[in-house]
Amino acid sequence: MSVSIINKQIEEKASLQKSFLKTANMLFGKEWDELTKEELYQTLVNTIRQYVSENWIMTNKYYAEHNCKEVYYFSIEFLLGRLLNSNLINLDMKDICKDALADLGIDINELFKQEPDAGLGNGGLGRLAACFIDSMASLGLPGHGCTIRYQYGLFEQKIINNQQVEIPDNWLKNGFAWEYRKADKEVRVNFGGNAYMAEQEDGSLKLVHEGYDTVSAVPYDVPIVGYHNNVVNTLRLWNAEVPKDYASLSGTREQLQERLRQSYRIQAITSCLYPDDSSYEGKLLRLTQEYFFVSAGVQSIVRHYKRRKGALSAFANQVAIHINDTHPAMAIPELMRVLVDVEGMDWEKAWNITKNTIAYTNHTIMPEALETWPIDMFKKLLPRIYMIIEEINARFLDNIRKMYPGDEERVRRVSIIQDGMVHMARLSVVGSHSVNGVAKIHSDILKSYSMKDFNEIYPKKFNNKTNGITHRRWLIAANPELSSLIDEAISDKWRRNPSRLIDLLDFKDDKAFLDKLDEVKKGHKLYLAGHIKRRIGFDIDPNSVYDIQVKRIHSYKRQIMNILHVMYVYNWIKRDPSIKNQMLPRTFMFAGKAAPGYHIAKETIRLINTVASVVNNDKDVNDHIRVVFLPNYSVTLAEKLFPAADVSEQISLAGKEASGTSNMKFMMNGAITLGTLDGANVEICDAVGEENCIIFGLKAEEVMEYYKTGLYSAWTEYNVNPKVHDVVDQLLTGPFVGNGDFHDLHNYLFSSNDEYFVFKDFMSYCAAHSKIKAKYNDHYGWLKSSLINIAHSGQFSSDRTIAEYAKDIWNVHPINLIKE
């Protein structure tokens, strides 16, 4: 390093320290050495905010001056996790900050732990949104997020008596240090009242909407920092508040009481995230939340556009709105409302703009997840939006009748309003110019099954964008040791351009390198063992194979099959202890939350924990296998698990998991996939080759065939297959049912006719585990596979995904703010 660079670094460190100390005095009126850990954390974030906001202002100025087209990613969930470490990495300030604080005797890692984990999402869909905004900023794309500022995030999970207990997640209790309240950017959102068309004197019709309730939507902006590129975009969180002019204290007692009730109702809108991703529920509060953030978002975009860019006719050339699943689908009628009612535009013109502005991503084909709202509820809460949807539907159906004369059955199948319900997925397809699935197999299923009719009507609309994950959080931040090792081998170019990870293939037969890879993995396994010991007081063997399944608990994801296999291995060892010599020592780990109302998922958690306590306390087996359920799966916990994993369990029934993204996080950290040909597993397997992952189970077409013929019988599978028979019986009797049996799970498996084909896939799942053993025993063969997985993981960086969205769907272009 040259003397001038060293001098510059010393200067930067001194200036950072100065600014840190000044911020401490300013925020807390104390000397820095009197601050609590929480105060030190707040001080650090506020120090960093000064650096971020300079770039933020510069970025926004650039977008305005260059008339850039901007994307707004609307999502009812953003599962951000902690931001301090990843912001410091993206700002290229981590090392200097760490040093500057170390000089003061402060360990930066301790401050990271003070940050609440922003859990504003349930699972994959919410985390995807968070990875996407990180990629947009890092690619220098003008792209922002729009969502709800939930007072309570996804519940905190505790395990008590083997069962899940939900604790409210009061993540804002010490404030959220990264947000900026923008009171001046407030907009108003109206609910209820009467809407109708009134005839004017000149005979024309004009909309009247009266008697509605108004809610104030106040944005809290969070800066989204790009990687080493000076770009800072915005994630806008909308908070529902009582309008200022409403807070008057005059009036009768009844009026005051009513006003108080109304103010509670308003605050309830953004009070909590719905924790249910197990089945769709048509709840009024959810509909209110959806319209609230979508209306606020659309209004603020139009206002911003008019200030900056002028004529609305060019709107779709300057603005793209992406709807993450159907939850923000009301962006379609809301943009129509603003253009037609507020801006006085013709319907046809407004419709073209709306369609060309909006793009839609579908994230599941599970029918029970599809959003439909009862007309009565919809009309009462959003009378004008309902009228607009009726008009959209009438015009759409006119066209369909022209395309398919006499085919009323088809008309019924595609109608946005049907049998008393408003179908949000249909609205999303009709009102957008692009519809994409999230992995090849998923997009194919959309086109040929769930959205077949629509694909025939609009063949050009449908496309695939395979999901991705940000390698900055999931590799650079979560696994700095592996990242440095990769740098040593192939230089650090992959950090900016993850597809360069492929260069690692040159090292696949380099034993010295593979040994180092092994060392890195061992280090993480040891660290995780320590963490588990500290967190739940439980010992695991760091020399065992870590076999991990982490994701929401769902029947279709088949955690049940995983734990039944553990029971099977347990029985095997009990029957013949000598078998242990031929087995791999293994630690089966699980983590994931169950929706509070999803009984079968909660029973699955109870089963896993019950099996864990039997296995872990049985001396005949616990030197060989152990089972751990890690409570409270979250982004922060996930960051510790992926780097330590050997085996990635991706065992959903083929055709059910739209993509999956933990499969990509595991792969990027060198774990081997044990999975079905479902979601993105298919593409992972294609990339790494069949010899570098272990695939088992029914194919999606075979599953479809069973559905079609109706020939699957859980009873037959159970009866013809003694291995299945034995473990399934153990849900009712035997070593695992000491404190209550698992009658409900047993009953569920049979009464649903084993809806996710656990019995059918069980034997090939057991065989896949045997293949893992054989593979692991070939030490260098395993490491080679691990390396091949890492090398191909660049393809699953969300930078690749977002570059595709930008080019094929949004037509937005990167900016360059890097000063040479």
Which of 123, 592, 675, 794 forms a contact with ligand 26V (CB under 6 A)? 123
Q: Which is nearer to ligand 26V, 156 or 678 (CB)?
A: 678
Q: Which is nearer to ligand 26V, 216 or 798 (CB)?
A: 798
Catalytic residue status for 465: no
Stated length of the chain: 820
State the minimum distance, in angstroms, from the CB of residue 455 to ligand 26V: 19
Q: Which is nearer to ligand 26V, 461 or 557 (CB)?
A: 557
Sheet containing 647-650, strands listed edge to edge, beginning at the edge strand earlier in sequence: 625-629, 586-591, 545-550, 647-650, 672-675, 694-695
State the minimum distance, in angstroms, from the CB of residue 132 to ligand 26V: 10
Candidates 203, 218, 180; CA nearest to 296 is 218
Q: Which of 661, 673, 676, 801 is catalytic?
A: 661
Candidates 275, 280, 169, 163; CA nearest to 602 is 163
Which of 354, 659, 681, 795 forms a contact with ligand 26V (CB under 6 A)? 659
Which of 660, 670, 675, 794 forms a contact with ligand 26V (CB under 6 A)? 660
Whole-angstrom distance, CA of residue 642 vs CA of residue 666 = 5
Residue 48 touching ligand 26V (CB under 6 A): no
Residue 124 touching ligand 26V (CB under 6 A): yes
State the minimum distance, in angstroms, from the CB of residue 818 to ligand 26V: 31
Please name every residue paired with 672 in a beta bridge, in sequence order, or none if there are none: 647
Residue 643 touching ligand 26V (CB under 6 A): no
Whole-angstrom distance, CA of residue 219 vs CA of residue 239 = 6
State the minimum distance, in angstroms, from the CB of residue 659 to ligand 26V: 4
Q: Which residues contact 278 (CB under 8 A, 6 or more apart)?
A: 554, 594, 595, 597, 598, 601
State the minimum distance, in angstroms, from the CB of residue 464 to ligand 26V: 12
Candidates 172, 178, 171; CA nearest to 47 is 178
To the nearest 10°, the Cα dihedral for 61, 64, 65, 67?
150
Catalytic residue status for 551: yes
Q: Which is nearer to ligand 26V, 207 or 366 (CB)?
A: 366
Catalytic residue status for 355: no
Site string for ligand 26V, 454-483 (x = CB under 6 A): -------------x----------------
Q: Which of 557, 606, 769, 792 is catalytic?
A: 557
Q: Which is nearer to ligand 26V, 462 or 494 (CB)?
A: 462
Assigned token pair, 418 = 């049907």
Catalytic residue status for 522: no
Percentages of the chain per state (helix, strand, coil), in multiples of 5: 55, 15, 30
Number of residues that bind ligand 26V (CB under 6 A): 24
Which of 145, 675, 679, 794 forms a contact with ligand 26V (CB under 6 A)? 679
Residue 657 touching ligand 26V (CB under 6 A): yes
Whole-angstrom distance, CA of residue 285 vs CA of residue 290 = 9
Contact 805, 812 (CB under 8 A): no
Q: Which of 426, 586, 665, 784 is catalytic?
A: 665
Residue 556 touching ligand 26V (CB under 6 A): yes
Q: Look at residue 685 and give its three-state secondary structure.
A: helix
Whole-angstrom distance, CA of residue 360 vs CA of residue 295 = 17
* Of 123-131, 152-160, 231-239, 331-339: span binding ligand 26V (CB under 6 A): 123-131
* Of 293-301, 349-357, 362-370, 747-755: span binding ligand 26V (CB under 6 A): 362-370
Whole-angstrom distance, CA of residue 404 vs CA of residue 421 = 23
Which of 69, 322, 363, 558 forms a contact with ligand 26V (CB under 6 A)? 363
Whole-angstrom distance, CA of residue 495 vs CA of residue 690 = 27
Whole-angstrom distance, CA of residue 59 vs CA of residue 63 = 6
Residue 438 touching ligand 26V (CB under 6 A): yes
Q: Which of 363, 473, 565, 593 is catalytic?
A: 363
Residue 366 touching ligand 26V (CB under 6 A): yes
Whole-angstrom distance, CA of residue 231 vs CA of residue 91 = 10
Residue that has been written with the tokens 């930067």 in this structure? 12
Candidates 122, 121, 177; CA nearest to 145 is 121
Which of 64, 369, 505, 704 forms a contact with ligand 26V (CB under 6 A)? 369
Residue 583 touching ligand 26V (CB under 6 A): no
State the minimum distance, in angstroms, from the CB of residue 128 to ligand 26V: 4
Which of 194, 279, 582, 752 forms a contact with ligand 26V (CB under 6 A)? 279
Catalytic residue status for 66: no
Q: What is the DSSP string of 374-440?
A: EHHHHHHH-HHHHHHHHHHHHHHHHHHHHHSTT-HHHHHHH-SEETTEEEHHHHHHHT-SEEEESSH
CA angle (274 as vertex; 272, 277 as ends), nearest 5:
160
Q: Which of 94, 327, 552, 784 is catalytic?
A: 552
Residue 661 touching ligand 26V (CB under 6 A): yes
State the minimum distance, in angstroms, from the CB of residue 113 to ligand 26V: 28
Whole-angstrom distance, CA of residue 337 vs CA of residue 464 = 30
Residue 371 touching ligand 26V (CB under 6 A): no
Residue 164 touching ligand 26V (CB under 6 A): no
Which of 44, 83, 96, 125 forms a contact with ligand 26V (CB under 6 A)? 125
Whole-angstrom distance, CA of residue 416 vs CA of residue 393 = 6
Query: Contact positions toward ligand 26V, by CB under 6 A?
Result: 123-125, 128, 277-280, 325, 363-364, 366, 368-369, 438, 467, 554, 556, 657-661, 679
Residues with a catalytic annotation lie at 363, 551-552, 557, 661, 665
